[in-house]
Amino acid sequence: MNETNTYHKDITLCFNLNDIGLRKFLSIKERKNGDLIIMPKYAEFFRRAQEKADNIVKIKQQKYSIHLSPNSKEFNVCMHNLELSDGKIIRTPHYTKTIKSNNGKLTPLFFCRSPDLSIDKYQLNSKDENNIHNLGNFDSKANTLYYGVFICSTTVKSFLSFKTGEQNYKIFKFLNFTLLIVWSFQYIPSHFSGAKIHFRSLDDQTLNDEIGSNIFKTTEGSRGLEAKQLLSYQFNELKKELLSTLIQGGEMSSSDTLFELPFSKTPYKLKIKGK
């Protein structure tokens, strides 16, 4: 089932890669104070969007934290934390009203083109064994995984808009938050690089009055159909980014038709000769 009333504390989300076994792509932990920590499994090296991979600066850690923010009556803080091997630390705040207002809207956290999960760094370890949620099977030699993460109030009960179309979805309920994971596949082999689209807050008067800052903006969130349209748009942006990455790396010519390859709810299965 995609929707459940089961409550969770720790989750490790996986896919079963053909001929390889389970590989994790996202972990979620609920802190004792009720905050959530979301840890995507990132690529080995850092690069900015549209830049050629130079394989110099490594990603040491990447996570998103969703805070109860008890000092605010309206806002919850979503913080993106990125730590790099050159010592640089990037912290990007994102403020949302959707949780405390119980307005039924979804707040996007990030959208991702997953790196190739077949390498050893994405293997499960002993700490993951009791919290595994396998979302299905796919062949990384034939498919690229795209996924998006939304956060919303625990009062949101239905996600009907995601039941149709070329995407899958799964709901995970925690004590104070509901998490929505949406994913699709593109029929092209997974690449060693990955890419993410993050959301941050800039300039909002109500927020300025509350926390005394003029550099943040809250998000009002999106209802189901709007959230689905946002997902489609951002997946296409990530598809464009992959095309640019492959062209810059000399792995594909600009005349190739990568962008015309559609997204699919089900992964493509390679045909083996003689079978």
Residue 271 located in a structural domain: no
The answer on pLDDT for 7 being more than 90 is no
Total residues belonging to the chain: 275
How far lies 168's CA from each of 70, 138, 160, 182, 212, in Å? 33, 13, 12, 6, 40
Count of domains observed in the chain: 1
Residue 202 confidence (pLDDT): 56
Nearest in space to 105 (alpha carbons), one of 118, 96, 113: 96
Q: For residues 30 and 215, which has the higher predicted lDDT (pLDDT)?
A: 30
| Sheet of 21-30, strands arranged across | 132-138, 10-17, 21-30, 36-40, 59-66, 76-84, 89-96, 218-219
Residue 2 located in a structural domain: no
Q: pLDDT tens digits, residue range 77-100?
A: 999 999 999 999 988 888 898 899
In contact, 108 and 137? CB cutoff 8 Å: no
Residue 211 located in a structural domain: yes
Q: pLDDT tens digits, residue range 148-177?
A: 999 999 888 777 788 888 999 999 999 999
In contact, 73 and 52? CB cutoff 8 Å: no
Residue 113 located in a structural domain: yes
Amino acid letter for position 268? Y
Residue 270 located in a structural domain: no
Q: How confident is the model at residue 14 (pLDDT cuts 50, 70, 90)?
A: very high
Residue 272 located in a structural domain: no
Residue 168 is part of which domain span?
Answer: 10-264
The answer on pLDDT for 179 being more than 60 is yes
Residue 133 located in a structural domain: yes
